[in-house]
């Protein structure tokens, strides 16, 4: 290869790696990252049989080789977050580049615009959304509207504390622990107001804005798709986030409420059976789903879609759980399964990836009551017979529910992907052939 050809190939690999980096740092699942990178490589004229991609949590590696030459490049991935809008826009860009005959300069320009685009919501608006999301959780757990407000305020302040800590350069897990501590303390203080008939419910929901729903569902996706190394890393990251959240809550409990036996009794007596109308739970689910959508930076035009998804998920869960009597584990699986199944079709209507619609919709089904029962049981152990069994039973049930939520989201999407992949590959080849006929195809 000539020096000019080598420089051109290096530029292509740089753009390809940057595309993958933006997707990884926006919390795309590994299968999506690989599919998008191969599509961009096809746009650049790099044959798939000569392209080798290795995706890790902190590093993406690309190699292009033939009988005579081999070129490899690496890209570090450092700032992991959640940005559903960026995932959608990069997916659209990979198709537009082929369909509209982009040059490399045009592709680089559009990719830079996506990378530099500000988020859809200002930080304080996201914090308000996070606050109301936790308030929606609290309402789903059976609180009154005053407790809903207290939970929202506590979560709002905790969310801002975490944001400030991260801006100041504090370790992300320490920021999570501190945010959980502050939110729990504020929720406990609010229980003394005397304004709510469910004063302890905000303690259940005030820190749930930290729940790592996206990493957890991506972990399940990656493991099922055989991307084991990335999946295990995502699972470890999820465990660290949950551990930091648990530490913050536990520390607050030990400092503030270690002698308040009433709280333990209140949590153990909380009814798991809905005692309000489906309309009330639908409103709470919609609020929670839209709040998490703002945290995940979903497009404004999709907020109502996600709200409807949250309503379908929660109402399906309650119907299967209580009306049919199959229990919370099967109920949660069916709620997420139905939403994911509907999203398989809805993605063609709204032109966004499946997870953009499904993940925020199923987050309101997180089993907060069981999680806190398990946590408090471990904190308040006194050597009484049955304490360990009770703690583990609640912990295992909550873990099973969360796992079934993840599976319910992942399974329909994975099976649908198998059917859709052939059509997309055929469409891609057709578009590339049209590009060759127009004389716009880029050779590697």
CB atoms within 10 A of CB 122: 10
For residue 225, give both structure tokens. 């798709």
In whole angstroms, give the CA distance from residue 201 to residue 184.
Answer: 11
For 439, left (φ over 0), alpha (ψ -120 to 50), or beta? Answer: left
Distances (CA, A) of 411 to 82, 272, 371, 406, 418: 22, 27, 25, 9, 11
For 240, left (φ over 0), alpha (ψ -120 to 50), or beta? Answer: alpha
pTM given for the model? 0.87
For residue 27, give both structure tokens. 């919390």
For residue 77, give both structure tokens. 């991935």
For residues 69 and 59, the answer to whether their CB atoms sit within 8 Å is: no
DSSP 309-358: HHHHHHHHHHIIIIIS--HHHHHHHHHHHHHHHHHHHHHHHHTS-HHHHH
User: pLDDT tens, position by position, for the chain (444 residues)?
Assistant: 677 878 888 999 999 999 999 999 999 999 899 999 999 998 888 888 889 999 999 999 999 987 788 889 999 998 899 999 999 999 999 989 988 888 899 999 999 999 999 999 999 999 999 999 999 988 988 888 999 999 999 999 999 999 999 999 889 999 999 999 999 999 988 888 889 888 888 888 898 898 888 888 888 888 888 899 999 999 999 889 988 888 898 888 777 765 555 565 565 556 556 667 888 999 999 999 999 999 999 999 999 999 999 999 999 999 998 888 888 899 999 999 999 989 888 888 888 888 888 989 998 888 877 777 777 777 667 666 666 787 788 888 888 888 888 888 888 777 776 666 666 777 677 777 777 777 665 655
In whole angstroms, give the CA distance from residue 159 to residue 170.
Answer: 14
DSSP 88-156: HHHHHHHHHHHHTT--HHHHHHHHHHHHHPPPSS-HHHHHHHHHHHHHHHHHHTT--HHHHHHHHHHHH
For residue 129, give both structure tokens. 């959304």
Nearest of 86, 108, 109 to residue 27 by alpha carbon: 86
For residue 138, give both structure tokens. 């609290």
Name every residue whose Cβ is closer than 8 Å to that of residue 139 and which is 6 or more positions away in sequence: 145, 148, 280, 281, 283, 284, 287
How many residues does this entry show for the chain? 444
For residue 34, give both structure tokens. 């690989």
CB atoms within 10 A of CB 208: 28
For residues 411 and 337, the answer to whether their CB atoms sit within 8 Å is: yes
For residue 388, give both structure tokens. 């360990």
Distances (CA, A) of 172 to 156, 177, 180: 18, 9, 12
């Amino acid at each position: 290869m000539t020096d000019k050809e080598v420089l051109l190939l290096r530029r292509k690999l740089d753009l390809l790696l940057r595309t993958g980096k933006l997707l990884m740092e926006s919390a795309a699942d590994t299968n999506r990252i690989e599919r998008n990178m191969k599509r961009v490589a096809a746009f650049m004229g790099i044959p798939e049989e000569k392209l080798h991609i290795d995706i890790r949590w902190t590093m993406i590696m690309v190699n292009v080789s033939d009988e005579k030459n081999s070129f490899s490049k690496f890209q570090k991935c450092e700032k992991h977050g959640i940005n559903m809008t960026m995932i959608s826009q990069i997916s659209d860009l990979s198709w537009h580049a082929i369909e509209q005959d982009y040059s490399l300069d045009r592709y680089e320009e559009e990719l830079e615009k996506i990378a530099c685009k500000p988020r859809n919501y200002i930080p304080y608006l996201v914090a308000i959304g996070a606050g109301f999301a936790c308030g929606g959780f609290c309402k789903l757990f059976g609180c009154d509207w005053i407790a809903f407000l207290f939970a929202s305020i506590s979560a709002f302040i905790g969310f801002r504390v975490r944001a400030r800590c991260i801006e100041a350069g504090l370790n992300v897990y320490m920021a999570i622990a501190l945010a959980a501590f502050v939110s729990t303390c504020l929720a406990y203080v609010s229980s003394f107001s005397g304004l709510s008939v469910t004063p302890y419910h905000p303690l259940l929901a005030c820190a749930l804005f930290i729940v790592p729903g996206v990493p957890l569902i991506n972990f399940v996706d990656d493991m099922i798709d055989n991307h084991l190394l990335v999946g295990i890393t995502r699972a470890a990251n999820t465990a660290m986030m949950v551990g930091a959240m648990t530490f913050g809550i536990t520390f607050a409990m030990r400092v503030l409420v270690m002698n308040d036996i009433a709280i333990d009794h209140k949590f153990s007596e909380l009814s798991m059976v809905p005692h309000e109308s489906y309309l009330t739970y639908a409103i709470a689910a919609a609020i929670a789903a839209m709040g998490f959508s703002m945290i995940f930076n979903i497009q404004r035009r999709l907020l109502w879609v996600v709200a409807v998804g949250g309503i379908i998920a929660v109402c399906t869960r309650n119907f299967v759980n209580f009306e049919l009597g199959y229990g919370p584990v099967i109920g949660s699986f069916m709620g997420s399964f139905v939403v994911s199944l509907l999203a398989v079709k809805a993605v063609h209507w709204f032109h966004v990836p499946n997870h953009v619609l499904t993940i925020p919709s199923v987050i309101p089904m997180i089993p907060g009551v069981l999680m806190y029962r398990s946590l408090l049981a471990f904190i308040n152990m006194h050597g009484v017979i049955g304490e360990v069994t009770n703690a583990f039973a609640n912990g295992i049930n909550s873990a099973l529910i969360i796992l079934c939520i993840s599976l319910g989201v992942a399974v329909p999407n994975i099976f649908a992907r198998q059917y859709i992949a052939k059509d997309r590959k055929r469409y891609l080849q057709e578009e590339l052939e049209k590009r060759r006929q127009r004389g716009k195809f880029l050779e590697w």
